[in-house]
């Protein structure tokens, strides 16, 4: 039997790190769990941010951002990016990570993270406490070490992780279950 937990944000969320430049061109990063792919043509993703964040204002000014996907071994740095404001400190310097200027959008990405999506601002939607920024993905960059055959992304090598809002913990992504668009075929008549 299912038990009602009320209206809450309990769905697991990927750990995304949003990269932006401020008005002075200083790189800033923040953890953003309210995010995900939202369209395949054009390829787009969303990040939802509160107006109080530096990144919110940076995205509006620069009309660009990156989404950096850390591996499990970078969980502490990713968590730190959500603990303190970029107004107060240089989070990249604090963690020893390196900002790289994107050659496609006006935003930095993190050199040490295995995967980055470079986005130009496509749409903005006010939702309530958060504003949803839709970014058109201009390029995806991946470390060669996380690629499988045919230059496909191998999640087992990238080792992304997700945030569980209910218990406020980070979790590993598990093992492969089977091929998408195929394992459900057993239900076809």
For the chain, what are the domain ranges?
13-176
Q: What is the pLDDT of residues 92-151, one digit of tens each?
A: 999 999 999 999 999 999 999 999 999 999 999 999 999 999 999 999 999 999 999 888
Percent of the chain with pLDDT over 70: 100
Q: What is the predicted pLDDT for the residue at 90?
A: 94
- DSSP notation for 77-138: HHHHTTTS-TTT--HHHHHT--EEE-SSSSSEEETTSSEEEEEEEEEEEE-SSEEEEEEEEE
Residue 176 pLDDT grade (very low, low, confident, very high; cuts 50, 70, 90)? confident
Please give the Cα distance from 90 to 108 (Å, whole number): 13
Q: Which long-range contacts (CB under 8 A, 24 or more apart) does 96-101 make?
A: 99/19, 99/27, 99/29
Q: With CA atoms as reference, report the closest residue to 16 among 160, 188, 136, 185.
A: 160
Q: Are strands 43-50 and 35-40 parallel, antiparallel or unpaired?
A: antiparallel
Between 11 and 22, residue with greater pLDDT: 22
Residue 189 pLDDT grade (very low, low, confident, very high; cuts 50, 70, 90)? confident
Kindly indicate whether the domain formed by 13-176 is annotated with CATH number 2.30.110.10.
yes
């Amino acid at each position: 039997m299912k038990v009602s937990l009320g209206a809450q944000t309990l769905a697991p969320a990927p750990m995304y790190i949003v990269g932006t430049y401020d008005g002075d061109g200083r790189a800033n990063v923040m953890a953003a769990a309210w995010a995900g792919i939202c369209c395949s043509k054009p390829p787009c993703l969303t990040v939802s941010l509160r107006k109080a964040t530096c990144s919110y204002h940076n995205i509006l000014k620069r009309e660009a951002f990156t989404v950096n996907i850390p591996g499990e071994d970078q969980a502490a740095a990713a968590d730190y990016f959500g603990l303190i404001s970029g107004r107060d400190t240089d989070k990249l310097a604090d963690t020893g990570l390196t900002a790289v200027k994107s050659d496609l959008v006006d935003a930095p990405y993190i050199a040490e993270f295995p995967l980055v999506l470079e986005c130009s601002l496509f749409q903005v939607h006010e939702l309530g406490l958060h504003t949803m920024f839709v970014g058109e993905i201009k390029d995806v960059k991946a470390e060669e070490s996380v690629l499988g055959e045919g230059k496909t992304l191998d999640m087992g090598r990238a080792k992304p992780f997700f945030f569980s809002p209910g218990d406020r913990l980070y979790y590993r992504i598990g093992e492969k279950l089977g091929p998408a668009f195929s394992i459900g075929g057993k239900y076809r008549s």
